[in-house]
Amino acid sequence: MRSVKRNVLRVATAAVASGVLTVGAVALAASAGASTLSNGGNGTAYSFRTLDNANDVTFNQLLGINDEGVIAGYFGSGAQGHPNKGYLLLPPFYSQHSYLNENFPGSVQTQVTGLNNRGVTVGFWSGMNNASMSNDNFGFVDVDGHFRNADFPTGDQASPPVDQLLGVNDSDVAVGFYTDGQGNNHGYEYNIGTTRFTSVVDPADPGTSLTAAAINDSGDVAGIYTNPSSGNTDGFLKTHGQFIDLAVPGASSTMALGVNNLDEVVGVYVPSDNSQALDGFTWTPQHGFSTVDDPNGLGTTTINGVNDLGQVVGFYVDAAGNTDGFVATPRR
């Protein structure tokens, strides 16, 4: 934890107040300490805690958690006048004094989307905060408080450009995607040490739209793609030698957003009987899918990240319409 804390404190003093856009956003509420238990379908009970940055109690999203319990996220809906502002949240107390601002220097908006156990964080930033919320996006990495852009080299970018880094492993390999001029997403890996980019594709259909959202230390990648057989939006887990389609039975769409070193995948799905609902899920090779919803946001839960202890982070919409971040810890 020492290296992470040193990095985090350096970021806090060096970062400029800013913020960025969103690729699947919602809102925030005031910080709460109460815990509630919920059971996943595999018999795992979770203790939930709402975590919201007091700088904006109407919109928070928690997007990643490492094995030391450091959480990456942001506040601000991205609406004009309410830009995204990135932060890290430090354990063990997760108090309001534990939020450390992290924003790309000179940006208007920033989202911190992923972090590893070595103090490296990734995300994306924007120089815009338009009323239409159609803003430019640029991927970034932060190593020891030093920020740099990391955008896939292509001559076919969307307008405005969209490029986001969403996860990073302990080998300092990050994953993300860019959107081309035709509106298709292209997943990629980015080696922070060598600055080399590598495409992530569906081997059955390399041209399909795909987003690489998370990567574990074995190099297994989780994300979202258009299933070439059904045309549905499904999740996937790409391991060495396998491309596993992840579709919750009966769901109209499934999105895999996080993966740990045990190949436990987390994400969100839309039930076929309610296009307005969002349910969080976990998936393991041993037990398959389990629905995991925050008890304060049933039908509006998204799980974005998972660490090797099985802790998950994400967000939900509360009764007042605010988007709240949460962390859920397994009760073994």
Task: Find out whether 122 and 74 touch, Cβ atoms under 8 Å.
Answer: no
State residue 40's pLDDT score. Answer: 54
Residue 212 lies in a domain: no
State residue 37's pLDDT score. Answer: 44
- Structural domain containing residue 14: 2-172+243-252+259-331
The Cα–Cα gap between 85 and 158 comes to 24
State residue 25's pLDDT score. Answer: 32
- The pLDDT averaged over each successive group of 10 residues in the chain (332 residues) is 31 26 30 41 86 98 98 98 98 98 98 98 98 97 97 97 98 98 98 98 96 98 96 96 96 97 98 87 97 94 98 97 98 83
Residue 151 lies in a domain: yes
Task: Find out whether 121 and 112 touch, Cβ atoms under 8 Å.
Answer: yes
Q: Who contacts 304 (Cβ-Cβ below 8 Å, separation ≥6)? A: 61, 62, 63, 64, 257, 258, 266, 267, 313, 314, 315
Residue 19 lies in a domain: yes
Residue 218 lies in a domain: no
* Strand order through the sheet with 99-101: 60-65, 71-75, 85-89, 99-101
Residue 205 lies in a domain: no
- Structurally, the chain folds into a number of domains equal to 1
Residue 133 lies in a domain: yes
Residue 206 lies in a domain: no
What 3-state DSSP class applies to 6?
helix
State residue 232's pLDDT score. Answer: 95
Residue 31 lies in a domain: yes
